[in-house]
């Protein structure tokens, strides 16, 4: 097969990688391709000022390679800020594998992916994200040490999702304290959108606290399973965002807070696990602020998972994981208060703190 040579004119029609809307001076973007296993992956390394770029691998059936690139750019950038604001010595990275995790994920494909991770000599350390399990990470561990989220019986910290959910629960309580004057979630109407690994664990905390939980997911079997385990209801309507509720918890994919959903939203607080909940962070952060909806920044409150996997690198135990995760409550409250004081969006307030930590380290290194 011959590779087609495009004219300069044709090449100019193709959107350049460095010109992507989500490109934010990422240090390195690695395209991984393997014909034998069908692996098509992109590793994004956003910033390594604070340490190696750590972030999970997402396997997803993207509509196009551009969509996958855009996702990895947004996600890896988010990881830089997540680690920075949480006080971890980690940079931001993420990987995406293009494909259906249910039908296209094979051991050979995962091993090949692990080899690509290894080729970066530790600049990028992987973990699980959507479409991945601890078993996948155990497999990757056989070809590279640059992987976290390993199962406990193999010496890892195990599945990070329950800790992520606990951190989201802490952040949600802080946002409730800020908005309603009490962090007690009893009888609060809370919609959880996406009841996967994190969503289900969050539902458990909320139902233990006596909240009125409504769940929604595209997977009907999963909805019934979770409903039968906890005292929660399945949302049967078609436009969750327009429902009366106290808290909206996005726990599926990103960008659900957007031009369409914001004008309809009746929630007073948004606090969930999904990464990149705001489709456009400045514009949509501002729109939420104008509408008086308190937004608990996603990268701040969903940091439990990274705290959990960081334990594998730093050798701290369960107690320290819980302590760091519970601290999300204090940081969230502080940031919501600061945002109001400084007349900025909560997202911008959180970002500024994260960026200042990165900048301070850069100055120290210089």
- Residues in contact with ligand NAD by the rule CB under 6 A: 129-130, 160-161, 164, 193-199, 216-219, 222, 251-254, 273-275, 302, 305
Nearest CA-CA partner of 70 in 17, 117, 31, 119: 17
Nearest CA-CA partner of 290 in 319, 262, 327, 270: 262
- What is the rounded CA–CA span in Å between residue 324 and residue 172? 16
Cβ 195 vs Cβ 168: under 8 Å: no
- 159 is annotated as contributing to ligand binding: no
* Minimum CB distance to ligand NAD smaller for 276 or for 345: 276
Task: Report the residue closest to ligand NAD, judged by CB.
Answer: 196
Name the minimum Å distance from CB 48 to ligand NAD.
20
Q: Could you say which DSSP state residue 242 is in?
A: G
- What is the rounded CA–CA span in Å between residue 101 and residue 292? 39
Name the minimum Å distance from CB 186 to ligand NAD.
25
- 257 is annotated as contributing to ligand binding: no
Q: Where are the beta strands (DSSP E) in the chain?
A: 28-34, 39-47, 53-54, 57-60, 91-98, 124-125, 189-193, 212-216, 233-234, 247-250, 269-270, 294-295
- 305 is annotated as contributing to ligand binding: no
Name the minimum Å distance from CB 164 to ligand NAD.
4
- What is the rounded CA–CA span in Å between residue 82 and residue 77? 9
* Minimum CB distance to ligand NAD smaller for 49 or for 256: 256
- 197 is annotated as contributing to ligand binding: yes
Q: Which pair of structure tokens corresponds to residue 222?
A: 């999963």
Cβ 29 vs Cβ 45: under 8 Å: yes
Cβ 126 vs Cβ 68: under 8 Å: no
9 counts as catalytic:
no
Nearest CA-CA partner of 17 in 54, 50, 42, 35: 42
**Count of all residues that appear for the chain in the document:** 366
Nearest CA-CA partner of 209 in 228, 182, 234: 182
Name the minimum Å distance from CB 116 to ligand NAD.
21
* Minimum CB distance to ligand NAD smaller for 12 or for 264: 264
* Minimum CB distance to ligand NAD smaller for 12 or for 61: 61
- 163 is annotated as contributing to ligand binding: no
- 198 is annotated as contributing to ligand binding: yes
Name the minimum Å distance from CB 257 to ligand NAD.
13
* Minimum CB distance to ligand NAD smaller for 170 or for 361: 170
Which of these is catalytic: 9, 35, 40, 94? 94
Q: Looking at the annotation, which residues are catalytic?
A: 94
Binding residues: 194-199
The binding site for NAD(+) comprises 194-199
């Amino acid at each position: 097969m011959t590779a087609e040579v495009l004219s300069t004119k044709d090449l100019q029609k193709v959107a350049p990688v460095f010109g992507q809307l989500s490109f934010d001076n990422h240090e390195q973007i690695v395209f991984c391709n393997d014909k034998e296993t069908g692996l098509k992956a992109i590793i994004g390394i956003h910033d390594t000022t604070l340490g190696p770029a750590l972030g999970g691998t997402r396997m997803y059936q993207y509509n196009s390679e551009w969509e996958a690139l855009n996702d990895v750019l947004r996600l890896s950038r988010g990881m830089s800020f997540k680690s920075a604001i949480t006080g971890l010595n980690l940079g931001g990275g993420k990987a995406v594998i293009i494909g259906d995790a249910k039908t296209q994920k094979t051991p050979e494909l995962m091993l090949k992916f692990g080899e690509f991770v290894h080729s970066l000599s530790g600049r990028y350390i992987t973990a699980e994200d959507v479409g991945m399990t601890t078993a996948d990470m155990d497999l990757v561990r056989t070809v590279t040490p640059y992987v976290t989220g390993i199962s406990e019986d193999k010496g890892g910290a195990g599945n990070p999702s329950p800790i992520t959910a606990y951190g989201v629960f802490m952040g949600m309580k802080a946002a409730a304290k800020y908005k309603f004057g009490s962090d007690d979630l009893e009888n609060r109407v809370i919609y959880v959108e996406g009841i996967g690994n994190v969503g289900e664990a969050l539902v458990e905390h909320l139902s233990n606290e006596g909240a009125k939980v409504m769940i929604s997911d595209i997977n009907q079997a999963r909805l019934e399973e979770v409903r039968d385990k906890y005292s929660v209801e399945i949302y049967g309507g078609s436009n969750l965002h327009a429902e009366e509720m106290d808290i909206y918890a996005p726990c599926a994919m990103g960008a659900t807070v957007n031009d369409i959903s914001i004008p309809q939203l009746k929630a007073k607080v948004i606090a969930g696990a999904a990464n990149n909940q705001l489709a456009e962070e400045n514009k949509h952060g501002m729109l939420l602020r104008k509408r008086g909806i308190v937004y608990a920044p996603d990268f701040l409150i969903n940091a439990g998972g990274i705290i959990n996997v960081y334990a594998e690198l730093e050798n701290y135990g369960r107690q320290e994981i819980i302590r760091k995760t519970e601290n999300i409550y204090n940081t969230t409250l502080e940031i919501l208060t600061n945002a109001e004081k400084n007349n900025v969006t909560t997202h911008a307030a959180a970002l500024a703190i994260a960026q200042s930590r990165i900048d301070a380290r850069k100055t120290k290194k210089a």
